[in-house]
Chain A
C-alpha cells in the first residue's frame, strides 16, 4: 500500500512541472497547463508501474562487481550497459562504451552469455604532457599530439560462462568461476574471475568480492614507426568489492570499490599502472525489470611502478590507458 501513497505523491508533484510552486489540486482549473503536466507524470508513472508489475529479475545488483546469482536453467535475460569514462590528465576526454548482452541459464549452476561491444570517444590534449592520446579501446588508431580525436567503433564480441560452485543461500558462502573471451579488431582478451559472495542480515546485505585475471593481446602502432603494428601483451589484474543493502523492497544501495592493475606481460612482471576507484551504487529490481547505476571516482592512491610511463601519474591519480578520473556505469535488464 506504500506504493499507492507514493503514486499519489507523484500526482501531487506533477503540477510544478509548469514551473509553478506551492499550487495544489484546486489550482488545476485555473491553470490548464497543469493538466498536461500531471497527465504526463501519471502516464509515465503508470508506464513504469506496468513495466515493473508485468515484469522484476535475476540481475546485476552491482554495476562493476559480479555476484554468484545466476539465471535459472532455461531462463533468459537481455541487458544493456552504458559506461561513461570522463577526464584524464587535462584537456578533454570522454568515452562511452555500450554493451548489449543476452544471458541464458544453461543449467541450474551454469550461465552463458554473449555481448556486442561498441564505443565512442573524444579526446584532446588528454594525455601525458598535454598530448592527445587515443584511449585504450582505440589504441590502434593514430592521433597527432594536437589532434582533436573523435571516433566510434564496434570493439568486438564477447562470450561469457559463469559456473557456480557454492551458493550463499545453501552453502553459507557463494563461489563461482567466470570466463569471458572477447575478440575484436586488433584485440583479443580472456577475462577470468573468481567470484565470492557472502550475505548478511537475512540476505538483505550482499557483499561480493571479485578477483580478475585478464590477459590480452593488442595490435598497436609502434612508438618508432606508427605504420608498423606490433602485438603487445597486457594483463589486467583486478580486485573488486561490492557492498549493497536492500533498504526498502526492490531497492538496494551501497558502494563499489575497484583496484585495477595493468601489467605489460602475462606473468605479473612489468607492472605499469594501479588505480583505485570508489563510489556509490544503487539498484532497482522488479519482477522482470532491473536497473543498476554506479559512479566511481579514482582515489589519489596511485604510485609509480616499474613500467609507469612518464606523465601518466598526476596528483597520485594514474590516467594512462583505460584509467580515468571518473567513470559511471548504468545497466538495465529484462528477464523472460
Chain B
C-alpha cells in the first residue's frame, strides 16, 4: 500500500462513530417516555408536542470524545417527566444511563438550579458528560419556557 493511502486510515477511524451503540431511536425514546401518546412536530427540529400537552425534545450535548444524544420528556406544567440517554460512547460514566441518576431530573423545572454537584450528583470519571447532560436539560427547559 502506498503512503498516500495511510492518510485515509485516521478517516476510517472516524468512521467508528457510525458503529457506536445507540440505545434508543427517536421513536423508541418517545414510546419509553410517553407510552401511548402521539407526537406532532412543532416546526422546530427535534421538538415534538405530545398529545397530552407536553413536549418531547432530543438534545445533543458535548461528551468527552463524541456527542451524547439525550431525549427529554417535559410535562404540560414544564417539569421533567423523564430523560433517556439515546447514544453514549465514552470510556467511562455509563452510569449516566442508570435509572437512579436519571431520576434526579424528574420534576425539575426551568427555575430549578440544575447544577452538577448541587441538585444533580456528579459521576466520578464522567464529570464532563454529567455536566453537559445537566446543562442540556436546563437549556431545553429554559428554551421551552421562553
What residues make up the interface of A, taking CB atoms closer than 8 Å to B? 1-4, 6-7, 9-10, 13-14, 16-17, 19, 37, 40-41, 44-46, 48-49, 52-53, 56-58, 71-73, 75, 105, 108, 167, 169-170, 202-204, 248-251, 284-288, 335
Q: Is B24 an interface residue (CB 8 A)?
A: no
- Closest A residue by C-beta to B135: A202
Complex: how many Å from CA A167 to CA B90?
Answer: 18
Interface membership of chain B positions 95-137, coded 1 if the CB is closer than 8 angstroms to chain A and 0 otherwise: 0000000000000000000001100001011111001100000
Least distance between A9 CB and chain B CB atoms (Å): 6
Pick the interface stretch among B27-35, B38-46, B63-71, B72-80.
B63-71
Task: Count B-side interface residues using an 8 Å CB cutoff.
Answer: 37
A75 to B94, CA, bound (A): 14
Known contacts A16-B5, A19-B2; A170/B16 CB under 8 A? no
Chain A: which residue is nearest B13 at the CB level? A48
Taking the nearest CB of chain A, how far is it from the CB of B121, in angstroms? 11
Expressed in whole angstroms, the Cα–Cα distance for A35 and B138 within the complex equals: 52
Write the chain B residue with the least CB distance to A77: B91
Chain A contacts for B12, CB-based, 8 A:
6-7, 10, 44-46, 48-49
- Complex formed: what's the CA distance from A53 to B90 in Å? 10
Closest chain A residue to B88, Cβ basis: A287
CB contact under 8 A between A286 and B13, given known A2-B18, A14-B5, A108-B125: yes
Selected from A4, A19, A71, the residue in CB contact (under 8 A) with B18 is A4
Q: For residue B2, which residues in chain A have a CB less than 8 angstroms away from its CB?
A: 16-17, 19
Partner pick for A48 among B9, B62, B131, CB 8 A cutoff: B9
Chain B residues near A (Cβ < 8 Å) = 1-2, 4-5, 8-20, 62, 64-67, 89-93, 116-117, 122, 124-128, 131-132
Contacts of A202 in B (CB 8 A): 62, 132
Q: Is the interface of A mostly helix, strand, loop or mixed?
A: mixed
| Contact assessment for B124 and A49 in the assembled complex, using a CB-CB cutoff below 8 Å | no
Indicate whether A52 sits within 8 Å of B1 (C-beta atoms), given known contacts A75-B92, A287-B91. no
Contact of A285 among B9, B64, B93 (CB under 8 A): B64
Cβ A335 vs Cβ B91 within 8 A: yes
The residues of A that contact B67 with a CB separation of less than 8 Å are 249
On whether A169 and B62 interact (CB within 8 A), knowing A17-B5, A248-B14, A287-B89, the answer reads: no
With A52-B13, A249-B66 in contact, is A71–B19 under 8 Å at CB? no
CB neighbours (8 Å) of B124 from chain A are 72-73, 108
A162 shortest CB reach to chain B, Å:
15
CA separation between A167 and B128, bound complex, in Å? 10
> Quick one: closest B residue to A170, CB to CB?
B117
- Which of chain A's residues has its CB closest to B127's CB? A169
The CA of A204 and the CA of B128, in the complex, are separated in Å by: 11
A40 and B1 form a contact (CB under 8 A): yes
B22 to chain A: closest CB distance in Å?
A: 11
Q: CB < 8 Å: which of B62, B93, B125 contacts A71?
A: B125
The residue in chain A whose Cβ has the minimal distance to the Cβ of B117 is A170
Q: Which residues of the partner chain A approach B13 to less than 8 Å between Cβ atoms? A: 48-49, 52, 250, 284, 286
A251 and B14 within 8 A (CB): yes
Task: Check if A45 sits within 8 Å of B8, measured CB to CB.
Answer: yes
Interface centre among B1, B12, B89, B116 (most CB of A within 10 A): B12
Indicate if the CB atoms of A56 and B90 lie closer than 8 Å.
Answer: yes
Known: A2-B17, A7-B15, A9-B11. A285 touches B65 (CB 8 A): yes
Provide the residues of chain B in CB contact with A44, threshold 8 Å: 1, 9, 12
Q: Which listed residue, A37, A45, A105, A170, touches B116 by the CB 8 Å rule?
A: A170
Q: Decide: B9 and A249 in contact? CB cutoff 8 A.
A: no
Q: How far is the CB of A294 from chain B (nearest CB, A)?
A: 16
Instruction: Look across to chain B and name the residue whose beta carbon is closest to the beta carbon of A70.
Output: B125
B14 touches A249 (CB 8 A): yes
